[in-house]
Amino acid sequence: MEVRDKIYVGGAWVSSAGNGTLEVIDSNNEEVIGTIPEGTAADVDKAVEAAAEAFGEWSTTSVDERAKMLSRISEGLAARTDEIAQTISKEVGMPMTLSGAIQVGLAVGAFAEIAQQITEFTWDEEVGNSLIVREPVGVVGAITPWNYPLYQIALKVAPALAAGCTVVLKPSEVAPLNAFALADVIDEVGLPPGVFNMVTGVGPVVGEAIAAHPKVDMVSFTGSTRAGKRVMELAAESVKKVALELGGKSANVILEDADLDAAVPSGIFACYLNSGQTCSALTRMIVPRSRLAEVEEKAAAAAAGFPPGNAFEPGVMLGPLVSATQRDRVRGYIQKGIDEGAKLVVGGPEVPEGLEKGYFVQPTVFSEVTTDMTIAQEEIFGPVLSIIPYDTEEEAIEIANDSVYGLAGGVWSADTAHAEQVARKMRTGQVDINGGAFNPGAPFGGYKQSGIGRERGAFGFEEYLEVKSLQR
């Protein structure tokens, strides 16, 4: 059991102003694997003051020095890959076969890539008689989720530090132990006191205190759309900059001429990765009505390749969900799909056989789903696919865009150029064409209620900069 009884403020591990603790649960067996401090608004105030005090010096540190620090953080995380991967597989449930490369590897890469990027970045440019300069936005409040916990932290902390900002982090209280590993690495690297601070606790207390604090210049939040609206509301009081990466209900449009043998299994994987606990998961498969029976058959066969199991068992590709709350929520959505008349192809709300302990859900596929059904509109965040038939391509695009969200999407066609034309008509932040590979350097973020701003690459970095013009 990992007992963490301190928060990280001003370059040191210090006691919380409160005396509450929160338990961390192993999603595979429901056992307590750790405890963390239940931070308070007073802790946030202390952390923000430390960050504000450190900003002046850190913001004027040379780019090369900041890059060197970020590289060392990347190396420190890489050295702990196995340890952190095991922690996240317990906290979140991602199988160990994937955790090292995805949950830790992407975070390691985020720090390494931004270190390289800032040495090549154009900080100043001439426009007429003006010198345009880019400067750090200030103190950044980072509020992160549990589904890709370390990577989501890295996508905020790495570019913020690279820009010259100082940071107050609130990691998810559901999957926080990996964040302590990062704080340990940062402490070992020797960032100046106050540049990075971490306060653990619950969103309505610690998260809200960060979003509302007058000395926080920007808040970057990843999580549910409901919570994102609250963050935006609190940030508005002091007109601080806001970046939001929120929910999704992403459409995977399979066109008439698509190769179903490639498209359907790829679509199942894109829905079930991390047990469906992925905001960009392709959870709506939009298919030609003429090929519906064929798609159902192939989807059932593909889903059979994802039997749920303990994240530490060899070969397991579908682990548990993160918590009892999440498990019950997903089962409720499956039941709702049945009640509203969707055709259950595989799966169901029952406990998977032999997995009574742990937060497991059956991989589920629904067909004959209509756009007015709950499972077609609301983000489920579990291994549940909705197959929605269409009669014309125009209708397929209309169905894809019939959502309050617009985070991700997919298009499959034998004609790549035609697939791109369809992709351009989708109101969403990214679209994978014929299973296009994940690109960590591409901007990630959404249209509509999927958020504001972008993460990753140059676009994500510039979120943490202000632009100033000097007329001469």
3-class secondary structure, 2: strand
pLDDT tens-place string over residues 361-396: 999 999 999 999 999 999 999 999 999 999 999 999
Q: Provide the percentage of residues in the chain whose pLDDT is more than 90.
A: 100
pLDDT tens-place string over residues 399-419: 999 999 999 999 999 999 999
- What pLDDT score does 117 carry? 95
For the chain, how far is it from start to end, CA to CA, in angstroms? Answer: 62
Query: Which entry of 113, 279, 296, 455 is annotated as an active-site residue?
Result: 279
pTM for this structure? 0.97
- What pLDDT score does 371 carry? 97
- What pLDDT score does 22 carry? 98
Q: Provide the percentage of residues in the chain whose pLDDT is more than 70.
A: 100
Query: Which entry of 38, 113, 208, 245 is annotated as an active-site residue?
Result: 245
- Who contacts 220 (Cβ-Cβ below 8 Å, separation ≥6)? 140, 141, 142, 143, 156, 160, 242, 243, 244, 453, 463
- DSSP characters over 116-153: HHHHH---EEEETTEEEEEEE--EEEEE--SSSHHHHH
| Average pLDDT in the chain | 97
Which band of pLDDT confidence, cut at 50, 70 and 90, is reported for residue 131?
A: very high
Ranges of each domain in the chain: 2-246+450-471, 251-442
Q: Is the domain defined by 2-246+450-471 classed in CATH 3.20.20.70?
A: no
Count of beta carbons in the 10 Å neighbourhood of residue 65 = 10
- What pLDDT score does 398 carry? 98
31 as an active site residue: the answer is no
- What pLDDT score does 316 carry? 96
Q: Say how many residues make up the chain.
A: 472
Give dist(CA 153, CA 172) in Å, integer.
10
- What pLDDT score does 208 carry? 98
Segment 216-244 mean pLDDT: 97
pLDDT tens-place string over residues 265-301: 999 999 999 999 999 999 999 999 999 999 999 999 9
pLDDT tens-place string over residues 16-61: 999 999 999 999 999 999 999 999 999 999 999 999 999 999 999 9
pLDDT tens-place string over residues 163-189: 999 999 999 999 999 999 999 999 999
CATH code, 251-442: 3.40.309.10
- What pLDDT score does 410 carry? 98
Angle, in degrees to the nearest 10, between helices 81-91 and 63-79? 70
- What pLDDT score does 301 carry? 98
Quick one: which of 337, 426, 412, 339 has its CA closest to 382? 337
279 as an active site residue: the answer is yes
- What pLDDT score does 384 carry? 98
